[in-house]
Structure formats: C-alpha cells, structure tokens
Amino acid sequence: MRKRLADKLRKMPLGHVQKYRHGTLKKNFVESIEEMELILAHAIPEGISNLLTFFIVSITLWIVDWRMALFAMAVMPIGIIAFGMMFKDGMKRMGPYYRASEEMNENIVEYISGMEVIKVFNQTTSSYDKYRTSVSHYKETALEWYKVSWNYLSVYSVIFPSTLLFLLPAGTWFYVDGSLTTSQFVLSILLAMSLGIPLVRLVEFMPLFPNLQQKVQKIESLFAEPELVEGSLKNIPADCSVSYDGVSFAYEDKPVLHQVSFTASPRSITALVGESGAGKSTLAKLLVRFWDVSEGQIRIGDTDVRDFTFETLMNTVSYVSQDVFLFNTTIMENIRMGKPDASDEEVIAMAKLAQCHEFILETEKGYNTLVGDAGDKLSGGQRQRISIARAMIKNAPIVVLDEATSATDPENEDRIQAALNGLIQNKTLIVIAHRLSTIKEADQIILLEEGRIAAQGNHESLLSTSPAYRLMWEAHRDSLATDLHSEEGRHFHA
C-alpha cells in the first residue's frame, strides 16, 4: 500500500498533493497503513481462534450440564453492558481524538521543518506555543477518553473472566443435592475458567473496526484523487520547439495565467521576465505537467504535452527549479539521478562543466560525501550548481531554467553562465532570470504582467516598444550602478 500511495502521489497534479499537509500525509503513509496490518494479521486470525474457542467450550459445557453452562454465562450480560457503554462513548470521541492527533502530527512536522526560520526570527515562543498547544490538546482529548473508558474497561475485564462467580455456588448446590457428579463439577469449573479470556480478547477487537474504518476512509479518499492522465506517445519528438497556445490556468479558483501564446523555436533562447508573482514559474511548470492547463494547449513540436508518457516528457524536458532539492545520498548519486546509467566519469565531467568539481573535492569525502552530512557545508549556490549538473546530465533537448542562478553570487553566476552556455547549445532553452543582464541576448523576451503577455520581442525592440520593459531595464541598470564598480563589468558581459 505504501508503494501504491507513493505512486499515486506521483501521478496526482502537484497542487492536489500540496493540499495535504505533510503531517497528514506522513500519518497516512506510516501509521494508518501500519494499523491495517493490525486487523489483517491480528484481528482476523486471533479473532477467529478466540471465537472458535468460545463456542467449542460453551457447547462442551452445555453437553456436560446445561445448567452449569447458563450459570457460567450469567456474568456476561454485565460485561456486555459495560463494554457496550464504552463502545458507544468511544464512537462519539473518536472523531475529535483523530482530529487532535492529526493536528499534532502536522504541527510537529511543521515545527521541525521550519526550525531554521524559527531560530532566525526567534519565534520560539509563538511557534513552540502552537506545537505545545496541539500536543496538550491531544493529551487532554486522549486522557478524557481514557478516563471514561477505564471504568468500563475495569468492569468488563474483571467480570468476563469471573465465570465462577455464579457457577461455583450453584454447582456446589447441585452437587450437594446430588444432581451433579464430582467429575461433572470439576470439568465444568475447568471449562468455565477457559471461557473468560477468549471473550475479553474478542470484545477488545471490536473497536478496531470503526477505528479502521476511519483510516480506510482517509486512505481511500487519497486514492480517489484525480490523476493526471498519462499519454501514450513514447518517442522524443524530432522537432523540439515549444508552443504555448492560448494557455490559461488557475490554482483552484485563483486565475494566474490568461491566454498566453508564444513559440520557442528549436535551439533558441526564450526569456521570461516580469515581476515576482507574474506567473513565470507557473508557466514553466505547466510544460512539465506539474499541473495541466485549464484552457489552451502546450505543444512540443506538433504534440500536446499531455499525449506523451510521463517518462518521455521528462526525458524531453529538463526543468531546473528555483527551489533546489537534494536527496540525502552522496553528491555523486544526486547528480546521477538525472541519468541513472551514467558512469562515474560522466558524472564528474558534468560536475566540472557545472562548476561543481572544485568545491566537491573540498568536501570531506569528495563525490561520496552525503549531501545531508555536507548540508551545512554546501552553500545555496553550490546546491544550485549540483542541481544544474543533475539536470544537464539528462541531456534533454528542452531545458527550462527557473531562476537557476538566483542563489549564486555574481562571481559564481559568471562561472555558471559560462557553464550553461556550453551545455545549452543545440537546445531549446526557456529561461526565467532575475538578473536582466543574463537574458539580454535571448532570441525572444516575453514580459509577463499578471499572467498576460505585456510585450514580446528581443532586447533592442522591447527597449523601444515597451515602456514597462524599459523601466525594468533602467531600474536594473541603476541597481547595478550602485553595486561595486569592479562587478559591473562582469554583470554586463553575460
């Protein structure tokens, strides 16, 4: 089930995955699935054996002496009433209990993954409060439930095994009056004593069922989430142009892109510029189907991106996100992820091109350094360069760089730019750049404003036709002028 769930998440649109908080997903993945095992491996086999024991013993007792059987079972109504009351009360409390535990899970995950921010902003009190409140809330909810249950639990777990309570006096009476032989009496006592324990075990499995039903519902609703429909085309298209054709898109009901149309011809550079929040990243992510367009079409060559298999699409497009994520394995494996059959030499060659080689050698174990261990030793820019190497080793004909150099200082940016220039030859490149100087030489620049194309053209033509672009350019140039003089030249040569 865990494998299926992981597979499911991969096939869901990213937006639907992000709707779930990490804590909830973790709980589904770990605990809920774990508890499925409880019913399959314990409740069913043990339940059946306890049930059988109970029936066989009762019938035997009945055959030995039916009166003894009745007296042995006389305690049961009391136990059943106590259990029933506990069960009824538990059903009421289960919802709030699970909500509290889910909330606690979410806050724990958030607290831990936000540790860096929490420290920096010294928010220890308020975010810790949120965490602590949810833990106390969980504790209170659980304790309240236990407090009520404990009473009932004590009653039935004492009563059920006390099958001799009525049987012993009654049996003595029958024995004295001669209607029960010694052997019948002794056998009844033995049988009755083995009646209680299976019964306790049996009723204790009962709450598992509604409990499990809750979890099954949660997991099933996750499995029922719509999936992106995978196409069937397996060939990497020969014509690797990218065309957006009247593309509109909304996150839930927040429209982000409106009727965006443009074409990036093969082996050309298209730059997307615009203010933060204009929709640049969204536009790029639609190409790799993190989401599907709401309207319009994105094509590679003549083919709608939705017609490719995921594998083909991923082999055709290399997407370097602005949020770098490295897996906790060696640097070597992190780069190799882009091309699983790459040799060590290939990885190293690519790392050299992406300007990673030097700093990798400086880490403790070089390429075999675990990224997690090196976590504090790698800078944002270094991580970004590793992710560039990872994307580049894939050698896909279409490359999308989403502010891939944003975390680098100007000096490194220069080196990366040089590396990229070598790597992106003969590729269709779509680049989102935060520094205008890096995109000055693009074949086509697209200025996005609130999800619409406000202007389109090359640097020179945009300078004369688009006042908005000119303003951006001037602002950019002014900001450069205030930079260190020595860096100015470097910025502009890109």
Ligand X SMILES: Nc1ncnc2c1ncn2[C@@H]1O[C@H](COP(=O)(O)OP(=O)(O)O)[C@@H](O)[C@H]1O
Q: Which residues would be at the binding site for Mg ion (CB under 5 A)?
A: 281
In angstroms, the CA 219 to CA 63 distance is 48
Q: Which is nearer to ligand X, 180 or 278 (CB)?
A: 278
46 vs 157: CA distance, rounded Å: 18
The residue with tokens 């770990």 is 30
If one asks whether residue 24 binds ligand X (CB under 6 A), the answer comes out as no
Q: Which of these ranges, 189-197, 236-244, 275-283, 301-309, lies near ligand X under the rule CB under 6 A?
A: 275-283
Q: Can you give the C-alpha Rg of the chain in angstroms? A: 34
Confirm or reject binding of residue 280 to ligand X (CB under 6 A). yes
Cα–Cα distance measured from residue 1 to residue 222, given in angstroms and rounded to the nearest whole number: 12
Q: Taking CB under 6 A as the criterion, which residues in 246-265 touch ligand X?
A: 251, 254, 256
When binding is defined by CB under 6 A, the residue of 277, 372, 375, 422 that contacts ligand X is 277
Given ligand X, Mg ion, none, residue 256, with its beta carbon under 5 to 8 Å by kind, binds ligand X
Q: Is the dihedral of CA 55, 60, 66, 71 positive or negative?
A: negative
Q: Which two tokens stand for residue 221?
A: 């609703």
Of 18, 49, 113, 172, the one binding ligand X (CB under 6 A) is 18
Q: Name residues whose C-beta falls within 8 Å of residue 152's C-beta, 6 or more positions apart in sequence.
A: 82, 83, 85, 86, 89
| Residues 157-196 as x/- pattern, contact with ligand X by CB under 6 A | ----------------------------------------
Q: Does 433 bind ligand X (CB under 6 A)?
A: no
Q: What distance in Å separates the CA atoms of residue 190 and residue 320, rounded to the nearest whole number? A: 74
Chosen residue from 141, 282, 316, 318 binding ligand X by CB under 6 A: 282
CB 85 within 8 A of CB 240: no
Are 414 and 385 contacting, i.e. CB atoms less than 8 angstroms apart? no
Percentages of the chain per state (helix, strand, coil), in multiples of 5: 60, 15, 25
SS3 133: helix
Residue 278 lies near ligand X (rule: CB under 6 A): yes
Kindly state the smallest distance separating residue 243's Cβ from ligand X, in Å.
19
Picked from ligand X, Mg ion, none, the partner binding residue 410 (CB below 5 to 8 A depending on kind) is none
Q: How far apart are CA 442 and CA 445, in angstroms?
A: 6
Sheet holding 295-300, edge to edge: 254-264, 242-251, 295-300, 303-304
> What residue has token string 């995978």?
230
Contact status: 298 vs ligand X (CB under 6 A)? no
The stretch near ligand X (CB under 6 A) out of 84-92, 172-180, 276-284, 378-386 is 276-284
Q: Does 287 bind ligand X (CB under 6 A)?
A: no
CB of 280 to Mg ion, least distance (A): 5
Closest by alpha carbon to 446, among 461, 457, 435? 457
Determine phi and psi for 401, rounding to 5 degrees: -110, 115
* Closest distance to ligand X from the beta carbon of 320 (Å): 14
Shortest separation between residue 134's beta carbon and ligand X, angstroms: 25
Q: What minimum distance in Å lies between the beta carbon of 286 and ligand X?
A: 10
Q: Reduced to 3 states, what is the DSSP secondary structure of residue 317?
A: strand
The CA-to-CA distance between both ends of the chain, in Å, stands at 50
Min CB(234)–Mg ion separation in Å: 31
Look at residue 49 and give the partner it binds from Mg ion, ligand X, none, a contact being a CB closer than 5 to 8 Å depending on partner kind.
none
Q: Per CB under 6 A, which of residues 350..369 are in contact with ligand X?
A: none
Partner in contact with 3, chosen from ligand X, Mg ion, none, beta carbon below 5 to 8 Å by kind: none
Quick check: 45 binds ligand X (CB under 6 A)?
A: no
Q: Which is nearer to Mg ion, 105 or 281 (CB)?
A: 281
Cα dist from 444 to 200, 273, 279, 296, 360, whole Å: 76, 11, 18, 21, 35
Residue 285 or 336: the one with the smaller Cβ distance to ligand X is 285
Is residue 279 at the binding interface for ligand X, with CB under 6 A as the rule?
yes
Return the range that interacts with ligand X (CB under 6 A); candidates 147-155, 278-286, 299-307, 391-399: 278-286
Q: How far, in Å, CA of 456 to CA of 147, rounded? A: 69
With binding defined as CB under 6 A, does residue 446 bind ligand X? no
Cα–Cα distance between 287 and 298 in angstroms, integer? 7
Binding residue count for ligand X, defined by CB under 6 A: 13
Site residues for ligand X per CB under 6 A: 15, 18, 251, 254, 256, 274, 276-282
